[in-house]
Chain A
Amino acid sequence: MARREQARDTALEGYFDVGVPTPETPIGDVPMLAMDMETTGLDEQRHAIVSIGVVPFDLQRIRLAERRYWVVRPPRPLNERSITFHHITHSEIEQAPDLDDVLDELLAVMAGRIVVVHYRHIERTFLNAAVKARRGEGIHFPVIDTMSLEARLHRQSWWARLRRWLGRPPASIRLPDSRTRYGLPPYQAHHALIDALATAELLQAQIAHRYSPETPLREVWS
Chain B
Amino acid sequence: MQVELLEIRQHMAQFPPFEQLSDDLLDELAGQVEVGYFQAETDIYRHGDAVEYLHYIRSGAIDLYRRNGDLYNRLSEGDIFGQFDLLRDRRVRFPARAIEDTLIYFIPLAAFQHLCEADDNFADFVEVERPRLESTVDQQRKGHEMLVTRVRKLASRAPVMVESDATVQEAAQRMGEHSASSVLVLAAPQTPDDSHAFTHEDGQLRRMVGILTDHDLRNRVLAEGRPASTTVGELIDERPITIQSDESVYEAMLRMLRNNIHHLPVLYRRRPVGVLHLSDIVRYETNSSLYLVDNIFRQPNVEGLAAMKSDVRAAFVRMVNEDDNSQMVSSSLSSIGRAFTRRLLELAEEELGPPPVPYCFMALGSMARNEQSIVTDQDNALVLDDSFDPEQHDAYFLTLAQRVSDGLAACGYSYCKGDVMATNSRWRQPLHVWQQYFRDWIDDPSPERLLHSSIFFDLDSVYGDEAFVESLQDLVAGRASQRPRFLAAMARNALNRTPPLGFFRTFVMEKDGEQNNTINLKRRGTAPLIDLIRVHALACGSRAQNSFDRLEDINKTRLLAGHSGERIRYALEFIAMVRIRHQVIDIQEEREPDNNIEPENVSDNERHNLKDAFQVLSNAQKFLKFRYPMPSQKR
Which of A's residues lie within 8 Å of B, judged by CB?
Answer: 53, 57, 60-65, 67, 69, 87, 182-185, 187-189, 191, 193-194, 197, 200-201, 204-205, 208-209
Q: A184-B101, A208-B37 are in contact. Are A194 and B4 (CB under 8 A)?
A: yes
A189 x B7 contact (CB < 8 A): yes
* B36 contact set on A, CB distance < 8 A: 60-62, 204
**Candidate in A62, A64, A191, A194 with the most chain B CB atoms within 10 angstroms:** A64
Which of B's residues lie within 8 Å of A, judged by CB?
Answer: 3-8, 11, 30-40, 42, 58-60, 100-103, 106, 108
Q: How far is the CB of A136 from chain B (nearest CB, A)?
A: 32
14 new A-B contacts at CB < 8 Å, known A201-B103, A208-B37: A60-B36, A62-B36, A64-B31, A64-B33, A65-B32, A67-B4, A67-B31, A87-B3, A184-B103, A185-B11, A187-B7, A194-B4, A204-B36, A205-B39
* A191 contact set on B, CB distance < 8 A: 3-4
What is the interface of chain A mostly: helix, strand, loop, or mixed?
A: mixed
* A200 contact set on B, CB distance < 8 A: 35
Give 4 nearest A-B pairs by CB, closest first: A183-B101, A204-B37, A193-B4, A62-B35
B101 x A185 contact (CB < 8 A): no
B35 x A64 contact (CB < 8 A): yes
Q: A61-B106, A201-B103 are in contact. Are A183 and B35 (CB under 8 A)?
A: no
A64 x B37 contact (CB < 8 A): no
B37 x A189 contact (CB < 8 A): no
CA distance A204 to B38 in the complex (A): 8
Q: How far is the CB of B634 from chain A (nearest CB, A)?
A: 58
Q: A189-B6, A191-B3, A194-B7 are in contact. Are A183 and B34 (CB under 8 A)?
A: no
* A57 contact set on B, CB distance < 8 A: 35
* B106 contact set on A, CB distance < 8 A: 61
A197 x B35 contact (CB < 8 A): yes
* A87 contact set on B, CB distance < 8 A: 3
A209 x B39 contact (CB < 8 A): yes
A64 x B6 contact (CB < 8 A): no
Q: List 17 A-B contacts (CB under 8 A).
A: A57-B35, A61-B36, A61-B106, A64-B35, A65-B32, A67-B31, A69-B4, A87-B3, A183-B59, A183-B102, A184-B101, A189-B3, A189-B4, A197-B7, A204-B37, A205-B37, A208-B38
Q: Pick from A53, A62, A209: contact of B34, CB below 8 A.
A: A62
Q: How far is the CB of A206 from chain B (nearest CB, A)?
A: 9
* B39 contact set on A, CB distance < 8 A: 205, 208-209
CA distance A107 to B38 in the complex (A): 31
CA distance A63 to B102 in the complex (A): 17
CA distance A188 to B32 in the complex (A): 20
* B3 contact set on A, CB distance < 8 A: 87, 189, 191
Q: Nearest CB to that of A181 among chain B residues? A: B101
* A69 contact set on B, CB distance < 8 A: 4
A208 x B42 contact (CB < 8 A): yes
Q: Pick from A64, A182, A183, A205: contact of B8, CB below 8 A.
A: A64
A61 x B35 contact (CB < 8 A): yes
CA distance A64 to B36 in the complex (A): 11
CA distance A67 to B35 in the complex (A): 12
* B11 contact set on A, CB distance < 8 A: 185
Q: Pick from A65, A184, A187, A188: contact of B37, CB below 8 A.
A: A184
CA distance A62 to B36 in the complex (A): 6
**Candidate in B8, B36, B59, B108 with the most chain A CB atoms within 10 angstroms:** B36
Q: How far is the CB of A56 from chain B (nearest CB, A)?
A: 10
Q: Nearest CB to that of A61 among chain B residues? A: B34
CA distance A201 to B58 in the complex (A): 12
CA distance A201 to B34 in the complex (A): 11
Q: A189-B7, A191-B3 are in contact. Are A65 and B31 (CB under 8 A)?
A: yes
